[in-house]
């Protein structure tokens, strides 16, 4: 298991890069995957990673599993490698934006 300082840093990083609320992410996943060919389970729309991020957003820090921590690290790495979090986002790359939104990061949304 991850030590307390590492867990605190991961929790902060995850919540910094995942800038969509659980309601926003759930709505996006429903919209993004709302057709017969892309929606295998209508009650759980979206990619497995998107669903996992959604479940993490609904958990307390003390309830995280090792699998949650792995997904959190992957999401932080993915977002930070593809987006410059310090500068203004590019509105032109819709495909990148939509891909990142499936894991809870909207590049056009202002960070808190």
What is the average pLDDT across 72-82?
Answer: 94
Q: What is the pLDDT at residue 32?
A: 76
Q: pLDDT grade, residue 96 (50/70/90)?
A: confident
Long-range contacts of 98-101 (CB under 8 A, 24+ apart): 98/32, 101/20, 101/25, 101/28, 101/32
What is the average pLDDT across 41-58?
Answer: 81
User: Would you say the pTM of this structure is higher than 0.75?
Assistant: yes
**Are 66 and 1 contacting, i.e. CB atoms less than 8 angstroms apart?**
yes
Higher pLDDT, 107 or 15: 15
Q: How many residues does the chain have?
A: 112
Residue 69 half-sphere exposure, CB side, CA atoms within 13 Å?
15
The stretches of the chain forming alpha helices (DSSP H) are: 4-17, 22-32, 48-57, 66-82, 94-101
Q: What is the pLDDT at residue 44?
A: 52
Whether pLDDT at 93 is above 70:
yes
Structure tokens at 52: 């996992």
């Amino acid at each position: 298991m991850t030590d307390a300082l590492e867990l605190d840093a991961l929790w902060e990083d995850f919540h910094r890069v995942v800038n969509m609320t659980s309601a926003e992410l759930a709505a996006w996943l429903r919209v993004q995957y709302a057709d017969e060919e892309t929606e295998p389970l209508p009650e759980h729309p979206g990619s497995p990673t998107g669903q996992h991020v959604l479940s993490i957003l609904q958990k307390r820090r003390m309830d995280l599993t090792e699998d949650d921590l792995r997904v959190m690290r992957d999401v932080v790495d993915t977002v930070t490698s593809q987006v410059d979090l310090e500068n203004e986002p590019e509105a032109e790359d819709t495909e990148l934006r939509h891909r990142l939104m499936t894991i809870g990061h909207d590049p056009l949304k202002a960070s808190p």
